[in-house]
Amino acid sequence: MKKTKGFIFLFIVTVIGVGFLFLQGKWDQVVTKPGVTKVSAIIISQPKGGDKWFLGNKYEIHYRLVNINKPHRVRLFRGGKYLGDFAGGNDIGTHSIKFGITCGKPLLNGVKYGPGKDYQVEIATVDNKRKTRTEGFFSVLSQKLKKPGPFVKNSNLILSNKQLCPDLMVKMKLITNNIGLVKLEGSIINIGKGDFSTPSVAQYWMNLRYPPKSYAQSGVSVMLAEKAFTKLKKGESIPFNSTYQIPDFGGWGGSTSMVKTMRQAKRLFSLRVIKKDGSVYKPDEECNPGNNSLKEELSYLEKYL
């Protein structure tokens, strides 16, 4: 009789738990073993549909993994289209996670995003078999700027902020040799009409992929070098160089399947300039952030094979 009551109690608790997750729309599957029932789920509690994120502000993504023993990624979608990952990690099992982000900071693949009303966050395992997206859409909004004060009427010279603002531009050149050494020669130039004075960093990144997979699918991203700066007068430039050695995996002249695969690898080298705190440049800080980055794809020894 005691065993029967215990079984009935376990059955009721299991049904209630599964029913709750089902009603929440987060239920993935039930794994049944002799005498044991486990619910696997990904539950996102923040952001929610209707939330508002302002560019430059910091926010947290709250989610919970239940009985999922696989690495996962935190992804961003806009209008149902995948943009990139906030992060990829190896958190497994049952965890309650609060992941902090700066709204507007470029994603791991370098993609930038701006104002819009159709954003969603997705938590997905690396194999993409388990995934959950936020219900409804949240918005990304620009910071509200204060209206400028009135101009002095008796001034003989009136210049707008845009006419005097700085404008950073980057240049990058890749130089390779026959042993896989890549030299990255670049510079940051202020081509605007005003002096630059915002704490910033220049970064070299390398992304790797094996066709036909995309860079997002491969998930390999490495920062090669970083250089901090603040002051840059109009017309001046800062040199910024780095190197990267492509590994040969024991000899590229071989004919094994691994060597053939590795020789097909594509590497995307990029140079970008961002604000030191990760926020978006204001109009009076940088006139045209669109020319703050450059990318170039390179195959191993492509200029020598």
Query: Tens digits of per-residue pLDDT, 204-230?
Result: 999 988 888 888 887 788 999 999 999
Domain for residue 12, yes or no? no
Same domain (yes/no): 167, 131:
no
Closest CA to 77 of 68, 86, 64: 86
Domain for residue 25, yes or no? no
Same domain (yes/no): 232, 270:
yes
Range of the domain at 68: 38-141
Domain for residue 2, yes or no? no
**Positions of the chain with pLDDT lower than 70, given as ranges:** 1-38, 88-96, 144-163, 248-262, 300-305
Same domain (yes/no): 53, 124:
yes
Q: Which residue in this structure is represented by tokens 């509200």?
A: 144
Domain for residue 155, yes or no? no
- First-to-final CA distance of the chain: 79
Same domain (yes/no): 118, 178:
no
Domain for residue 56, yes or no? yes
Same domain (yes/no): 191, 126:
no
Sign for the CA dihedral angle at 112, 189, 227, 206 comes to positive
Is this structure's pTM higher than 0.85? no
Same domain (yes/no): 210, 103:
no
Phi-psi category of residue 25: left, alpha or beta, with phi > 0 → left and psi -120 to 50 → alpha: left
Residue 71 pLDDT = 81
Same domain (yes/no): 212, 265:
yes
For residue 225, give the amino acid letter. Answer: A
On the question of a cis peptide bond just before residue 150, with omega within 30 degrees of 0, the verdict is no
Residue 202 pLDDT = 95
Count of residues making up the chain: 305
Domain for residue 15, yes or no? no
Q: CA 87 to CA 77: how far, in whole Å?
A: 14
Number of domains in the chain: 2
Same domain (yes/no): 174, 290:
yes
Domain for residue 258, yes or no? yes
Domain for residue 24, yes or no? no
Same domain (yes/no): 174, 124:
no
CATH of the domain at 54: 2.60.40.10
Q: CA 3 to CA 9: how far, in whole Å?
A: 10
Residue 67 pLDDT = 82
Q: CA 122 to CA 82: how far, in whole Å?
A: 9
Residue 146 pLDDT = 54
